[in-house]
Amino acid sequence: MSKKRKVKKIKLKTHRGAAKRFKVTSTGKILRGHSGKRHLMGTKSPNRMRHLKKMALVNPADAAKVHRMLPYA
């Protein structure tokens, strides 16, 4: 009789850069920030800046890659 060994699953590491850039909602969707808010704000209209402040959904084509970088989110 051979004893069966339990195979330990290795812990996956979270990609720290992705953890700082993306947020996962309770339903599993991934949110991202907009680019273009660091400098040259004088040329951008207040309406445009207001839209840039809000979070946007990550494209479904890229969502699987981000989920792999955030295994426990």
Spell out the domain ranges in the chain. 16-34+41-69
CA angle 25-27-31, nearest 5°? 30
The pLDDT score that the predictor gives to residue 1 is 62
- Give CATH for domain 16-34+41-69: 4.10.410.60
From the CB of residue 58, how many other CB atoms can be counted at a distance below 10 Å?
Answer: 20
Calculate the CA 11 to chain-centre distance. 19
pTM score, whole prediction:
0.81
Q: What is the pLDDT of residues 35-70, one digit of tens each?
A: 999 999 999 999 999 999 999 999 999 999 999 999
**Which pair of structure tokens corresponds to residue 34?**
């907009």
User: Which among 58, 61, 14 has a CA at the least distance from the CA of 34?
Assistant: 58
| Residue 22, phi then psi, degrees to nearest 5 | -120, 155
